[in-house]
A and B are shown apart, each in its own frame.
Chain A
């Protein structure tokens, strides 16, 4: 299964993806490669120390822009797509949604324009894995603001006063996406279990034939 999940910080994308991976591994077998490290400064599988995060945040926009270019490109390579499962969180959405506003690069019509980059990444995904499903995870601004206050992240990106425009930006990116298999999930009032159930309903008609066969085979082998 190939998924790209995207959503504003505090939309609970990470919580949902962990539930999806757990379901996927039990339904299809195997191990799901999960990449949730595209949000500056959290650019690693392992949790970076505060010093390391500070080091990344101290980098100039020029350097960050190139690092993120290499970073995104690396995760779209054939070695990842030769695996049966590849799940990525944020990726080009985070770049287009956050870089121009918070990290000083990727502005429209300048070198490294993240709007153009966004489209280039989408076409690359479709070339590498046309069965990819895009999942937009969203919540309303009040809920995002409340989660931000009750359970703040280290070095979070989004500021409270920007929640609405950032959400609107993510919405626009989702609408612009050329990935034909897509769905939007709203976590404002739903529990993780309820959102997972909605995901399972929505993913069924979007699953590739190979994934359906994997599920059937796995079910047979479990008997």
Chain B
């Protein structure tokens, strides 16, 4: 497209909630994890809305990883907020975020990136992340929730990519072929 994507917003997974200009330090992550569920809920809600606002001038491209789908799953399951009927109910917030996306950038493409439970478990053991959210015992359940989030999404342009056995290059070829019909510069990616 002869363009440069200035920022990729990948900071919706607690405690990795600030990505610019730098990642949080271990100490900052620890401080964030110590906050109460109610404060985590508020901060994450503000984070979601900030990143689904009307496009800033001169930013035709926007890449967001996780966003409302991730927050709804992990917030309720691991961080004690956003359950049905609670303050900041993530079902309602997710619907609102998707409406905002459809208003501000209806050309947005939702990409579900997935892998089999065994592959996720193997990656989790081989290369654990600092303050990773996912626990091995929960993999099947969480994968199901992401499938559900993808299926229920009101975004109309969607792609699923399975990374269980393919390389990044093969995935790119495959996705670019499929995306050529739908891609208009806005991508929301939902993945573990």
Q: Please measure, in the bound complex, the distance between the C-alpha atom of A71 and the C-alpha atom of B45, giving whole angstroms.
A: 9
Which size bracket describes the interface of B in this complex? 20 to 34
Q: Does B162 contact A (CB under 8 A)?
A: no
Please, what's the 1-or-0 string for B4-38, where 1 marks a CB less than 8 Å from any CB in chain A?
00000000000001100110110110011011101
Q: Does B50 contact A (CB under 8 A)?
A: yes
Q: Please measure, in the bound complex, the distance between the C-alpha atom of A49 and the C-alpha atom of B32, giving whole angstroms.
A: 16
Minimum CB–CB distance from A24 to chain B (whole Å) comes to 26
Minimum CB–CB distance from A124 to chain B (whole Å) comes to 10
Q: Given contacts A52-B36, A52-B39, is CB(A60)–CB(B45) below 8 Å?
A: no
Could you tell me the dominant secondary structure of chain B's interface residues?
helix
Please, what's the 1-or-0 string for B39-71, where 1 marks a CB less than 8 Å from any CB in chain A?
100110111011001000000000000000000
Q: Which of A43, A46, A66 has the most CB of B within 10 A?
A: A66
Q: Does A58 contact B (CB under 8 A)?
A: yes
User: B32 — which chain A residues lie within 8 A by C-beta?
Assistant: 59, 63
Q: Given contacts A62-B18, A66-B18, is CB(A52)–CB(B38) below 8 Å?
A: yes
Q: Which residue of B lies closest to A56 (CB)?
A: B39
Cross-chain contact B21 with A67 (CB below 8 angstroms): no
Query: Which residue of the partner chain, among B18, B31, B43, contacts A58 with CB atoms under 8 Å?
Result: B31
Q: Does A77 contact B (CB under 8 A)?
A: yes
Residue pairs across A and B with Cβ atoms less than 8 A apart, 24 shown, are A46-B38, A52-B36, A55-B35, A55-B39, A56-B39, A60-B25, A60-B27, A60-B31, A62-B24, A63-B18, A63-B24, A63-B28, A66-B17, A67-B43, A67-B46, A69-B50, A70-B43, A70-B46, A70-B50, A71-B43, A73-B49, A73-B50, A74-B46, A77-B53
Query: Which residue of the partner chain, among A48, A51, A73, contacts B53 with CB atoms under 8 Å?
Result: A73
Q: Does A23 contact B (CB under 8 A)?
A: no
Q: Please measure, in the bound complex, the distance between the C-alpha atom of A55 and the C-alpha atom of B18, giving whole angstroms.
A: 17
Q: Which residue of A lies closest to B47 (CB)?
A: A70
Cross-chain contact B38 with A44 (CB below 8 angstroms): yes
Cross-chain contact A43 with B42 (CB below 8 angstroms): yes
Q: Which residue of A lies closest to B33 (CB)?
A: A55
Q: Which of B18, B32, B34 has the most CB of A within 10 A?
A: B18
Minimum CB–CB distance from B86 to chain A (whole Å) comes to 13
User: B24 — which chain A residues lie within 8 A by C-beta?
Assistant: 62-63
Q: Please measure, in the bound complex, the distance between the C-alpha atom of A51 and the C-alpha atom of B46, giving whole angstroms.
A: 21
User: A44 — which chain B residues lie within 8 A by C-beta?
Assistant: 38-39, 42
User: A52 — which chain B residues lie within 8 A by C-beta?
Assistant: 35-36, 38-39
Q: Does A81 contact B (CB under 8 A)?
A: no
Cross-chain contact B49 with A74 (CB below 8 angstroms): yes
User: B50 — which chain A residues lie within 8 A by C-beta?
Assistant: 69-70, 73-74
Q: Does A111 contact B (CB under 8 A)?
A: yes
User: A79 — which chain B residues lie within 8 A by C-beta?
Assistant: 96
User: A49 — which chain B residues lie within 8 A by C-beta?
Assistant: 36
Q: Please measure, in the bound complex, the distance between the C-alpha atom of A60 and the C-alpha atom of B35, giving whole angstroms.
A: 13
In order of increasing CB-CB distance, the 4 nearest A-B pairs are: A70-B46, A74-B46, A70-B50, A66-B18
